[in-house]
Amino acid sequence: MLPFQSYALAKGFDNCLYSVTKAPTNRPELVYRYNPATRQGEYTTWRLPAQGSETVWISAATDEHGDLYFMTADANKLVKVSPADNSVTILWTKDPARQTAYFPIIGFAGAGSHGNFCLDDANTLYEVYSTDGSLLKVDLKTRQTAPEMIPLSGLPERGGYSDLLLQLDKVGRRRLYLAGPKSLYRVNMETGEAYRVRRGVYTDLAGCNLFRAVPPRGRRPPAHRLLPLRLPRHGRDGCWTPSRSGPCPRLSYV
């Protein structure tokens, strides 16, 4: 399905899957688009910045406007891609959790990751600490992390929490899904209790029907500019590489 191995997967409003390689290249990488309806994939012109040394792109998510977000495993880099205008915006280059009192507990060498994240419709980003499933809450507007982690009950002590996804159910209730060790859990956000939904190994939860904003009548999203993938070539790691890079979209810091 993808020409490379990936941890960072997001489902767009066009029902396509958007991804970037997990290879620690520390160089700008193009976002890849896979259409499950046609079973065809293409590289977009959206270029993410170099992820940094000793880290990889580990997670991705979609907000209510259809913008795509990508984060590194060390949480030091968060990037937003806006399909509406083909822009790529770097939201931060330093983990906001470093400002908290609890960061030494989760940020020491060899600690678990907290780069897997999801978004809600209130400009809030939730990260999961892979060791025990606790949540970190970040305000995207202020780039401030809540002073306390959110502990969850009902989870096994064994670590291995790899992703999370926040959605609304049919009656409008918030449902947080958490990929844990050999099981998928649903979390009650009001009580912090987790319940097993089903057994299985889940590494990434990619969805976008959570808080989709309805566009004004008569407005259609612009067509995405894509780069066709020619006959595959093999790079140093044996994965496919794009035959050309194309123009680079606007990159900005905020």
- Tens-place pLDDT, residues 37-87: 999 999 999 999 999 988 999 999 999 899 999 999 999 999 999 999 999
Asked if the structure places residue 109 within a domain, the reply is: yes
Alpha-carbon distance 235 to 244, whole Å? 13
Altogether, the residues listed in the chain come to a count of 254
Alpha-carbon distance 225 to 17, whole Å? 15
Residue 226 confidence (pLDDT):
38
The two beta strands, 57-62 and 68-72, are: antiparallel
Asked if the structure places residue 2 within a domain, the reply is: no
Asked if the structure places residue 3 within a domain, the reply is: no
Asked if the structure places residue 28 within a domain, the reply is: yes
Binned at pLDDT 50, 70 and 90, residue 135 comes out as very high
Asked if the structure places residue 181 within a domain, the reply is: yes
> What's the Cα-to-Cα distance from 76 to each of 117, 137, 204, rounded to whole Å?
13, 15, 20
Residue 229 confidence (pLDDT):
35
pLDDT in tens, 142-177: 999 999 999 999 998 777 888 888 887 778 778 899
**Domain that includes residue 183, residue range:** 8-253
Give the residue among 141, 247, 134 at the shortest CA–CA distance from 194: 134
Question: Reading across the β-sheet that carries 57-62, which strands appear in turn?
Answer: 57-62, 68-72, 78-82, 87-92, 251-253
Given a cut of 50, whether residue 231 has pLDDT beyond it is no
What's the mean per-residue pLDDT of the chain? 82
CATH value at residue 135: 2.110.10
Residue 214 confidence (pLDDT):
52
pLDDT in tens, 104-131: 999 998 889 999 999 988 889 999 999 9
Alpha-carbon distance 230 to 141, whole Å? 40
Asked if the structure places residue 118 within a domain, the reply is: yes
How many CA atoms, within 13 angstroms, populate the side-chain half-sphere of residue 124?
11
Which residue's structure tokens are 């790899």? 162
Residue 63 tokens read as 């907000």
The two beta strands, 174-180 and 183-188, are: antiparallel
Asked if the structure places residue 1 within a domain, the reply is: no
Asked if the structure places residue 238 within a domain, the reply is: yes
189 compared with 234, residue with greater pLDDT: 189
Binned at pLDDT 50, 70 and 90, residue 204 comes out as low
The domain tally of the chain equals 1
Alpha-carbon distance 222 to 251, whole Å? 19
